[in-house]
Amino acid sequence: MDSSIIPISNLQLAFTVLLVLIAGGISSFLRLGLLGALVWGTVRTFVQLTLVGYALVYIFRSNNFWLVVAVITLMCYVAAKTAVKRTPNVPDYPTVLAFLSLLASTYLAGSIVTVLIISPDPWYSARIVVPIFGMILGNTMNGIALSLDRLYSEVRSRAAEIEARLTFGATPWEAVRSTVREAVRAGMTPTINSLMVVGLVSLPGMMTGQILGGADPRDAVRYQIVVMLMITAAVATGCLILVGLSYQKLFNRDGALQSFVLQSRK
């Protein structure tokens, strides 16, 4: 296979603005009110990815274990704040809980992949670890945001049922156990759907990137299988940890539903 990468010049990169114009034209024609966000998002994409490109060059060259750990931990924190912001219906949710769930799930799944499956030399090779952990984080962030939003919305809509169970002597966990299952299921569903159609409907980014870089498609497929399964494990773990840490916040010390849940029923 030809392993050469076709470079993209600055002029060719500028042509991507045509793609933005298409999306912007649709937004304007239908009056979606997304034009400003689209332009700002495009600018941020150019700036952020350019800066990240230069930063990764330095990180890859230094290949320092503690620098890699610091970068991944920072990525977990940023992802946690983003996940919390994506759940506006969850009042005053502490970022630290989302951070802990992302930290645990990302390091668990990422370590298994890098140490046991890919096994680079050294095992903490920045060129391998940072992209792998980044893919895990991006998907787990979306998963925990969906789970958190579903947990709170389900508890609000079923508050009367939960209160009735508490009245009959159920513990907070027993009262919301079915709701917890629904929340974890909601977070995992998009990932499960992706497993069902990968290769048939879409060629994921990891696989496509390797093929465009000249890799043998059969090798790219193997990497993609690893990526899909590691994401599934990380999303499941992250959703479970976050929901497990979160459901207790719905109850006060006496084991009754918090007032903000009851007020949402008005």
Determine the pLDDT at residue 3.
52
pLDDT recorded at residue 263: 63
- Kindly report, residue by residue over 58-93, the tens digit of the pLDDT: 999 999 999 999 999 999 999 999 888 877 777 778
Percent of the chain at pLDDT > 90 equals 40
Strands (E), the chain: none
Chain centroid to CA 163: 33
Q: Kindly state the average pLDDT of the residues 18-27.
A: 90
161-189 tens-digit pLDDT: 888 888 888 888 888 888 999 999 999 99
Quote the CA–CA distance of 158 and 165 in Å, as a whole number. Answer: 11
125 contacts 79 by C-beta, under 8 angstroms: no
**Does the pLDDT of residue 29 top 90, yes or no?**
no
d(CA 174, CA 167): 12
What average pLDDT does the segment 91-112 reach?
90
Predicted confidence at residue 266, as pLDDT, reads 43
Residue 13's pLDDT band, with cuts at 50, 70 and 90, is confident
Whether the ω angle into residue 122 lies within 30 degrees of 0, i.e. cis, is yes
Q: What is the mean pLDDT of residues 43-49?
A: 91
CA distance 178 to 180: 5
Q: Does the pLDDT of residue 94 top 90, yes or no? A: no
Q: 32 near 23, Cβ under 8 Å?
A: no
Contact 243, 184 (CB under 8 A): yes
pLDDT for res 51? 93
Mean pLDDT estimate for the chain: 86
